[in-house]
Amino acid sequence: MSYVLFKVSLWLFPYSLSAQSWQLEDSFALALPESVASSPHNRLYVANAQGVIMQYNRQGDTLRVHQPSNLEVPFLLPWQTLRIQAYFPFQQMLTVLDQNLSEVSTISLPEITLGNATLSADQQVWYISADLILNKYNPQLAENTLSASLQWYFSSENQVHLLREYQNRIYIQTDEQLLIFDLFGNFLSQRPLSSDHPIQFLNDEAYFLSGDYIHFIHLYSGTIRQLPMPAEKNIRKILVEKEYLHGYSERFWYTYSMVDQNQE
């Protein structure tokens, strides 16, 4: 058992090893993306090292390409059903793209942020300022409508790997923990979590890749489970759907379907 899993499972009992595994369905030549995201309508989004954002279907067909006006690599996050958000950290700029990868809006943040900025359900923007304040910014009014101090929970020496609103909660992932707040900035709970990669969400679980396993944390019960990764592919990034796994290595994109070993 890896150190990461051991550290998490101490706090989040029970944990289980799933009886499911993966069957390779297809593979495509693709350089390792810098950022990946998916949407509910079988659309996958990839940002490459040149900052180009590409939209694919599950069969590996390139549907659309978006070339930002700069060469900065964006951090991609899904938002609503048919839109994707791209955050450009050096420019402190958040861009919303529609299903055609056309720009819907671009928001410039009022100050330097830690980690990414992200959209709220009411189309405002969450961000963490350098003085460890969680802010909700209204771009129409050009002012913060909510602020909450984070100084009790982590220091400026910690890296913020992810900030995201999901299922009416705010999730902040730092070097060693996952912090959970309500939509008014009130602290709810924290969970030990040591991962250099931003977690991702699927239904009522958060998941991340560590070693040879994908670790899933249930957002409400706290239980965790793990699935073994496909062997010998050196997968570095993943996207998990209900019945599929998309794995990205240095040169390839692999698509797997789920197999229930209990039914074999």
Question: What is the rounded CA–CA span in Å between residue 47 and residue 50?
Answer: 8
The percent of residues in the chain predicted with pLDDT above 70, rounded, is: 91
Checking 51-56 for CB contacts under 8 A at 24+ apart, the result is 53/84, 53/86, 53/97, 53/101, 55/101
Residue 9 pLDDT? 36
User: Which residue did the predictor score with more confidence, 12 or 82?
Assistant: 82
pLDDT exceeds cutoff 50 at 250: yes
Residue 249 pLDDT? 96
* pLDDT bucket at 196, cuts 50 / 70 / 90: confident
- Which residue stretches of the chain are H helix? 3-11
Residue 12 pLDDT? 38
CB 16 within 8 A of CB 24: no
CB 65 within 8 A of CB 53: yes
Give the residues across from 96 on adjacent strands.
Answer: 85, 105
* pLDDT bucket at 158, cuts 50 / 70 / 90: confident
pLDDT exceeds cutoff 90 at 20: no
Looking at this protein, which amino acid is placed at residue 11? Answer: W
**Residue 77: in which H helix or E strand, if any?**
strand 75-79
The percent of residues in the chain predicted with pLDDT above 90, rounded, is: 73
Question: What is the rounded CA–CA span in Å between residue 87 and residue 115?
Answer: 10
Compute φ and ψ for 11, nearest 5 degrees.
-95, -25
User: Model-level pTM?
Assistant: 0.89
Domains of the chain are 3-259 (2.130.10.10)
